[in-house]
Chains A and B, each alone.
Chain A
Amino acid sequence: MAKANDIDELFRLYYRPLCIYATHYLQSIDNVEDIVQEAFVSLFEKMKGGTAVASVKSYLFTSVRNGCIDVLRKRNTHPEEFLPEEFCETVPDAETVSDSFDEALLWSAIDSLPSGRKKMLLMHKRDGMKYSEIAEELGVSERTVRNQLSRALKFLRKETKNFLLFFF
């Protein structure tokens, strides 16, 4: 029978990878957390009702995927043209599931970066800003930017050493 702590443990294991998995499908973070919460609620109801769930991980990822397909169907202006098979080819599933766990580790690692380094990382890697531009924007030297970025990447590398390392 499902207990409160069981579901908490499932959240800790799967919540972030599920959110990232949904983001792959929706290409945005809007609606993602609602879809994932809904998957957990539905799982919990099933467990409470005494239905055996063979693979919790499978159930959750499938629920989330279906939730995303629903959202995409609604978003699509020509729903009759939307074919799930077509869609699935562009987001191969098993790989996406596996990537989501790695990316969840990355996300958590970025979360734990000190705010200055995090900001610089986002400015450089996400916004494509050059060291000089970052330095000017934040009122620090270029050397500081280079230093901070190097530490940030070193930290990320250390935190995510379970999957293949990337090199800066």
Chain B
Amino acid sequence: MNELNDKKLNFVLKFYREGAFNPKKAIAQFHTSEDEPHTNRYGYRWAVTFATAFASIVIVFAAGFSITKAVIHHNRQQETVPAPVVLNPDVAATHTFVYEDAPLPDVINELSDYFGCTISCPPTRKHLTATFPDDDLDLIVSIIESVLNVDITVEK
């Protein structure tokens, strides 16, 4: 028996766990965390910078507000409702939803449309990478809630 490579096999088997060290999962996790605000990363320095910037913006905005309001009111055009984003146009045929880095609000809109109910979630910049069958909305919602750690409300 080749001692060296039995050693490698034994090492791997000793620590092997199903689903661990999965690069695809890690990529999804990396991109999800990338979208979250990094306010904790630099702490105090960022808090001060952000507060100063915010204060400046508020002052400028207050000064220009009344003028802007008048101009907009005068020039107001009929607003167009943006077309809903469709990420899975053939789900009725494939019976599968495939999401790759899809913004959660777009996912929610598509599901609301497809299942004919009102689904909502708090404002978020989170993105979803996942695949679901189209037969169980409750299951889909619970998966999204646990993967992205958000609260989703469904009104049927």
Binding site for B on A (CB under 8 A): 4, 7-8, 11-12, 15-16, 19-20, 23-24, 28-29, 32-33, 36-37, 40-41, 44, 99, 102-104, 106-107, 110-111, 118, 121-122, 125-126, 156, 163-168
Contacts and interface: CB of A to CB of B under 8 A. Distances in A.
A15 B21 contact: yes
A20 B21 contact: yes
Contacts of B31: 4
Given A166-B2, A167-B1, A11 B15 contact: no
Contacts of A107: 12, 16, 21
Given A37-B30, A166-B5, A167-B1, A125 B23 contact: no
B21 A16 contact: yes
Nearest to B6: A166
A110 B5 contact: no
Interface string B15-44: 111101101001101110110000000000
B78 to A, nearest CB: 37
B45 interface: no
Nearest to A8: B27
Instruction: Give the dominant DSSP class at B's interface.
Output: helix
Nearest to A115: B18
A166 B16 contact: no
Contacts, number: 84
A32 B22 CA distance: 12
27 contacts: A4-B31, A11-B23, A12-B27, A20-B21, A28-B15, A29-B17, A33-B20, A36-B26, A37-B33, A41-B33, A103-B11, A103-B12, A106-B8, A110-B12, A110-B13, A118-B18, A121-B13, A122-B13, A122-B16, A125-B9, A156-B9, A164-B2, A166-B1, A166-B5, A166-B9, A167-B1, A167-B2
B95 to A, nearest CB: 26
B26 A102 contact: no
Given A107-B16, A107-B21, A110-B16, A37 B26 contact: yes
Contacts of B11: 24, 99, 103
A153 to B, nearest CB: 9
A39 B142 CA distance: 31
B104 to A, nearest CB: 18
B33 to A, nearest CB: 8
B13 A12 contact: no
Contacts of B8: 99, 102-103, 106, 166
A156 B5 CA distance: 12
Contacts of A164: 2, 4-5
Given A29-B20, A166-B6, A41 B1 contact: no
